[in-house]
């Protein structure tokens, strides 16, 4: 897909990336690229988990969305930055089991990895993750998901 640069308002008469072309199935480990994945929704669709590596954060404004299509039952869904030069800043809003309550987990300065284990840190059908490349070395992150057991932060410094 070619890229085009505009310097004013843009009107699309046929939409932007949408429909079946906007969904990308993740059923194995993958390294994302802005050309193939930015502006699309990645469907996490493998019960045995997968590792997704983001492109380097350079301030492009690119958005990478994820939807948990299949609850992970072994291993983990892992979303991580490309190198130790990048980190994430944001929150995870987690619906707790057993009632109408939620936990909110914040990133810390060194957060660079999201781990969803199918239980305490999420990875359950319906979970949503959105990351945006906001400036060099930084992704903004918001996670909306459910978890079970003793809910725990999905964020860590592992890269």
At residue 122, the 3 state secondary structure works out as strand
- Token pair, residue 99, equals 């009632």
133 part of a folded domain: yes
Q: Is the pLDDT of residue 12 over 60?
A: no
- Is pTM, for the whole model, over 0.85? yes
Residue 8 banded pLDDT, cuts 50, 70, 90 = confident
Segment 113-142, tens digit of pLDDT: 999 999 999 999 999 999 999 999 999 999
- Count the domains in the chain: 1
How many whole angstroms from its chain centre is CA 128? 7
Domain assignment present for 109 = yes
The reply to whether 9 falls in a domain is no
How far is the C-alpha of 41 from the C-alpha of 122, rounded, in Å? 18
Token pair in block for residue 106: 């914040």
Q: Which of 2-16, 75-89, 97-111 has the highest mean pLDDT?
A: 75-89
């Amino acid at each position: 897909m070619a890229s085009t640069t505009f310097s004013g308002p843009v009107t699309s008469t046929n939409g932007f990336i949408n429909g079946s072309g906007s969904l990308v199935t993740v059923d194995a480990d993958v390294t994302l690229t802005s050309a193939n994945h930015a502006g699309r929704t990645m469907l996490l669709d493998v019960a045995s988990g997968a590792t997704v590596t983001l492109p380097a954060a350079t301030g492009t404004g690119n958005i990478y969305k994820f939807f948990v299509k299949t609850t992970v039952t072994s291993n983990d869904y892992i979303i991580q930055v490309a190198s130790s030069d990048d980190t994430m800043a944001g929150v995870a809003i987690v619906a707790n089991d057993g009632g109408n309550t939620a936990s909110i987990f914040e990133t810390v300065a060194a957060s660079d990895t999201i781990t969803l284990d199918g239980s305490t840190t999420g990875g359950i059908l319906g979970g949503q993750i959105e990351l945006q490349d906001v400036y060099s070395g930084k992704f903004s992150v918001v996670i909306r998901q459910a978890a079970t057991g003793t809910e725990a932060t999905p964020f860590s410094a592992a890269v």
